[in-house]
A = this chain, B = another copy of it.
């Protein structure tokens, strides 16, 4: 056990140990004893801070979603052209990816859980709607300013978000025929060609 910590710090410590195991093994294959080992604590300590395995992982998801919050902050992109903002969001996503590939691996597991667990799915929908509506508002701005064609904003937002999600395939398949940066840059440009007025 590592020194004195506040309750909150200790809980995060456990979450981070759990995340390390979780991305490698997935929920079902993760043993509470694995987390015990990884954290350097004990069974009792883990169960002192979290009611059970499920609750620990729900907390883990929240902790993890928090990290994605910045992308959704409105005002963050104030004053820029809509096209530039979209490219910024893409760049931001790639940066998160490069810094923390593990999270993208965990994401697959997360969606798999979401397909079966109501509470997890709700968290997923919240994330999804947040990103979609953020992108939509950028699209609407672009249309208003005459930058963009009169496209269906929700449909287009979904398409753009989905393209960013596609980064997952790179992790899964270790595709090295080209870099993620290049892919995102290239595909964004291609899509924007269908969105921006020529």
Q: Within 8 Å CB of A59, what residues of B?
A: none
Question: Is A186's beta carbon under 8 Å from chain B?
Answer: yes
Question: Is A158's beta carbon under 8 Å from chain B?
Answer: yes
Q: Within 8 Å CB of A191, what residues of B?
A: 159, 190-191, 194
Oligomeric state, in number of copies? 2
Question: Is A163's beta carbon under 8 Å from chain B?
Answer: yes
The residue on B at minimum CB distance from A24 is B116
Given contacts A193-B194, A198-B198, contact A172 B116 (CB under 8 A): no
Q: Within 8 Å CB of A29, what residues of B?
A: 28, 116
Contact of A187 among B159, B169, B173 (CB under 8 A): B159
> Is A26 within 8 A of B116, CB to CB?
yes
Q: Within 8 Å CB of A128, what residues of B?
A: 169, 173
Question: Is A108's beta carbon under 8 Å from chain B?
Answer: yes
- Name A64-111 residues within 8 Å CB distance of B: 105, 108-109, 111
What 10 A-B pairs come out closest when comparing CB atoms? A28-B28, A193-B194, A162-B166, A112-B112, A190-B194, A159-B187, A194-B194, A155-B186, A108-B112, A109-B112
21 contacts between A and B (CB under 8 A): A27-B28, A108-B111, A108-B115, A109-B112, A109-B115, A112-B112, A115-B171, A128-B169, A151-B190, A155-B178, A155-B183, A156-B187, A156-B190, A158-B187, A159-B163, A159-B191, A162-B169, A190-B194, A191-B194, A194-B194, A198-B198
